[in-house]
Structures are given as structure tokens and as C-alpha cells.
Amino acid sequence: MKIVRTVQDLRRELDEARADGRGRVGFVPTMGALHEGHLSLVRAARAENDVVVLSIFVNPTQFTEAADLSGYPRQEAADAALAEGAGVDLIFAPEASEVYPSGFATTVHLSGALTETLEGAARGGAHFDGVATVVAKLLLAVGADAAYFGQKDAQQVLVVTRMVADLGIPTRIVACPTSRDDDGLARSSRNVRLSAEDRTRALAIPRALAAAAAAVSGGEASAEAVHGVAAAVLADAGIEPEYLAFVDPASLEPVRTMDAPVLCAIAARVGEVRLIDNAVIEPVAGTEGGAA
């Protein structure tokens, strides 16, 4: 495994791989602080490609809170060891000046519900501008056949998929299932900042998702009623969500009835740590097709 810092070196390594007959490239973009969730994406990429590239870049333009940016863990040596063990061939770990050189003046902006609701509303429009811009730059630098993202960041997956389609970037976007710890908590680099007490409280988030799904399985079709069920689980743990939303999984438009697959998305602070999670809730058999 090699670590490269510049786009020029990245492309040289990939050109050499293609010349050796290893033409199919899979890409896993990360901000480092790797955990099992990232490694599951690497394994998915490894299974389908000849070469696996993983990027490590803490993107400053997608952070709306300076403390979140400064506090984001940076552990390249540990990350490199994990990446190599999971089957990564090449790590792209650029400096900020490589991604945003002097005079950089371009932003990729998507409008509409995909970027203006949920995380866009909570974190501001600049968040997804930062995400779209850096992912576009990384995809163009790597030239991968496929890029792998976790479904925990469901809105990000939709934004990236829309951007790739709109800009004609020839990379297939693959959404992989949310990786969870044995207790059900969605894996996140932020989880290490949870105290033992807050870690226990945070388990109310996946429990709320499960309670919502159970309510629908039990025949409840009102999104408002299901919202109440999930909100009660969070409240019992002393968690006030930033949002608890029931939306169309493709458009993120709000829904009123649970008669088609619905994305339930939650964002909440537990202690000082902001967590997100989601699940697609399937309707009771035979109720699909109604008006949302």
C-alpha cells in the first residue's frame, strides 16, 4: 500500500495499475478516524474492483462549527494500518492547499429539498456545498469506476448521486448498509467522544427507529402518529432531537402516510456529541401505492 499527497502522484499510480491490467478502480472517500463502518466500505470496494483507493481529507468547507472541525480526530498512522489490513491499495491524503489551491473560486451547489432540508436546514446550506464540491474534486481526481458511501449518511448519498448524474461524472455511486455496533448504535467517528452514560442514552436513537418500524408493522399508517411513538422513545432517554423526520427516500419531501417506503431520519445531540441515524421503513404488505 502507498500513500500519496498530490493528484499528480495519485494519477501516476493509477495509470501504472491500469497499464498492469488492473483497470477497475473502487474509491472510498473518508475524513479519516477510520472505524469498522469505513472498513465495511473498503471490503465492498475490494470485492468488486482491481484497485481500491481510500482518501483521508478533513474537508474544512463542510464544517459549520469551528469546534467540530478542530476537534475532528486525526490519526493517519493508525488509519493507514487499518486501511492496509482491509485491502486498500492506495491512500490519497492531500493537504488542504492541494484540494483548494490559491485562487480557488468554484462551488458545486445543489438546490431543492435534497440540500435544504434535514442536515441542510440544521447545518446551513454551506454544508452540502462543501460536501458536493470536495466529492466532485475527489471523484475527478481518482477517476474511479465506483465510489462507496454509507447509508447512515442517507442525505449525503442522495446529494452525491444527484450531483454525479447532473455533472456527468462517470462514477457509479454505491450505497452500503449502515454499519452498527453490537448494541445497535450506528458507527461514527464521533462515538468515541461519548461518555459511558451518554453512550447508553444514545442507544435510544436506534430504538426510536425500531419503534417507528414496529408501529408501522402493527398497522399504523399515520406519519404523525409514528412520529409520536419515536419521539417518546427519545424523550424517555432525555434526548430532544434536532429533527425527527419522515420523508420520501428519494426526494426527502415530507410524507403524511406510511403507505410506501419512508425514510425516518434523526439528528440529536447526546451530551456534546451530535449524532445522526436513519432507517427506511417499509409499509404493511398490501398498503403500497396510496397518496403520500
Q: Which residues are annotated as a binding site for beta-alanine?
A: 62
Q: Known binding site for ATP: residues?
A: 31-38, 150-153, 187-190
Q: Using the structure block, give the residue that is written with the C-alpha cell 440544521.
A: 122
Binding site listing for (R)-pantoate: 62, 156
Q: CA–CA separation, 92 vs 272, rounded Å?
A: 31
Would you state the cell numbers that stand for residue 232, as one nine-digit string? 417518546
Percentages (nearest 5) of helix, strand, coil residues in the chain: 45, 20, 35
| C-alpha of 282 from chain center | 21
Question: Which one of 38, 109, 127, 227 is the catalytic residue?
Answer: 38
Radius of gyration of the chain (CA): 20
CA distances from 288 to 184, 245, 279, 282 (A): 28, 20, 18, 9
Determine the Cα–Cα distance for residues 247 and 42; give it in Å rounded to an integer: 29
Annotated binding-site positions: 31-38, 62, 150-153, 156, 187-190
Query: Is 38 annotated in the active site?
Result: yes
Residues annotated catalytic, as ranges: 38
